[in-house]
Chains A and B, each alone.
Chain A
């Protein structure tokens, strides 16, 4: 069994503990630290969103008239880039609409589950933790903006935060802290028909190129000091699950005493597709670490891993392993993980919403991807190094854990 770490709080900027994290994190404080809850009922996640393994923070968004709104229930997502919030939660805060060629800029983004977010792209002052605000383009999710690029298929995007994960976004926004600076990058500078960006005359929106500086930007990359990436710190979990847990989203890697990691290994990733190689059960996959995925999702090549409504439900808990190898490098490491019967987790009388042994099949899907979702992050300090930015762990893009 795992034992408690239970280190006491000792004030500001204390060093990060070595791996692995224990059952209890030390208290980490500093202007670059955001409390990150994984919960459906309390804290930064708000209440009522029925969503397994959902990590949330609170951010503040301001406009040029200093109208600020503090928004909770922001999903922390290492698999996307930039801040997106529903217009309906911004209150009187009005980010400044960005124009390209004299037309209003809009964006349509698509996630792997096929969900869509449509809305305007506007400049906001974004405050993360105690850091000074950064001025970056964000997406204001707004199904009523323009004509939703009606000829280009964003008409069916998320309409509201909502609370039903089958039909609603189930969050107020997404903070994309993945390893890229912009959400699209050079593709969208040169290609009109990449499908992400649109410009609108009146309500008529059509595909457009967009300069890098106008693309939705990872706000971490714009910080003064702590701009080279983030560290997600979550405590370990008891086997079987928990009602909720809490950790930290720490800004910057090795830029302060409280974000200097020891005992971690950096894995440079393929900059073109955000992946390293994950070898599992005799096959190589494009692996990625994604806090916005709520389990471990990989093709089922193990007959013991039965499938129950998309989740694995083996008759007995399976202890498995995979090897992650850095891109163009011999750096590698073995990950042991467990998959338990999802129905046991789900039907536990304690109402678990947080689980480390949750996983599901992506057989026939993901086309060779191995998705290390939030289950991977428990008990680890996971660093995400931003492209082109350096730290003691190397130059991004990389993951380190």
Chain B
């Protein structure tokens, strides 16, 4: 038998939009404190360091946090809950980059995680039923001294 070693033969398109949430937290843009659809509650600057500010929103599917740098630009977004949030909305101008990268990097079966690196954005997803999480970030916008793991 000839075996393949996870070489993608055709594209697998990951879900790129899920819940209608959080128009305020868009990667690469300034966070807006005006919460919009499907946001149950929102806290501004739930935690911050000299390097970044965190805004957090509770949605029906869990929690979404946006990480903004000193200029107020969102460089990373993290989520956790029962489903991923609406990534198309969260990723904003990065959404197409993610979609394209997803097509080029099909999933590996039997995993509970997946990392997709686009030209401008990296999207990492993980978890299992009832406990889904992930993060998205633009490496070019991450302030010096901030680790990717800080986006959580």
Chain A residues within 8 Å of B, Cβ to Cβ: 41, 50-54, 79-81, 108-116, 151-157, 164-167, 170, 176, 178, 180, 183-185, 187-188, 191-196, 207, 273-275, 288, 290, 292-295, 297, 309-310, 346, 351, 360, 362, 364-367, 369, 371, 373-374
Contact = CB atoms under 8 A, between A and B. Distances in A.
Interface centre among B7, B9, B11, B133 (most CB of A within 10 A): B133
Contact of B16 (A54, A153, A290): A153
Interface centre among A153, A188, A295 (most CB of B within 10 A): A153
Given A112-B125, A153-B19, A157-B15, A274 B130 contact: yes
Interface centre among A50, A170, A373 (most CB of B within 10 A): A50
Interface string B75-89: 000001111101110
A121 to B, nearest CB: 15
Interface string B2-35: 0111111111111111111100000000000000
9 contacts: A112-B113, A112-B128, A156-B13, A164-B9, A207-B60, A273-B131, A364-B115, A366-B112, A367-B152
Interface stretch (B44-52, B63-71, B102-110): B102-110
Given A154-B15, A371-B112, A193 B130 contact: no
Interface residues of B, number: 58
B124 interface: yes
A79 to B, nearest CB: 4
A112 B84 CA distance: 10
A297 B111 contact: yes
B86 A310 contact: no
Contact of A195 (B80, B82, B114): B82
Contacts of A50: 3-4
A367 B130 contact: no
For the residues of B in contact with A, the DSSP-based class is: loop
Contacts of A351: 1, 3
Contacts of B20: 151-152, 193
Given A50-B4, A365-B115, 7 more contacts: A108-B18, A112-B112, A167-B10, A180-B129, A193-B21, A346-B3, A367-B133
A120 to B, nearest CB: 18
- A-B CB proximity, top 7 nearest: A294-B110, A195-B83, A193-B60, A112-B112, A153-B17, A153-B18, A165-B109
Given A110-B132, A114-B125, A194 B82 contact: yes
Contacts of A274: 128-131
Given A52-B110, A195-B83, A111 B15 contact: no
Contacts of A188: 82
A196 B82 contact: yes
Contacts of B88: 153
B129 A80 contact: yes
B61 interface: yes
Contacts of A369: 112, 126-127
A141 to B, nearest CB: 14
Contacts of B106: 166-167
Contacts of B149: 364
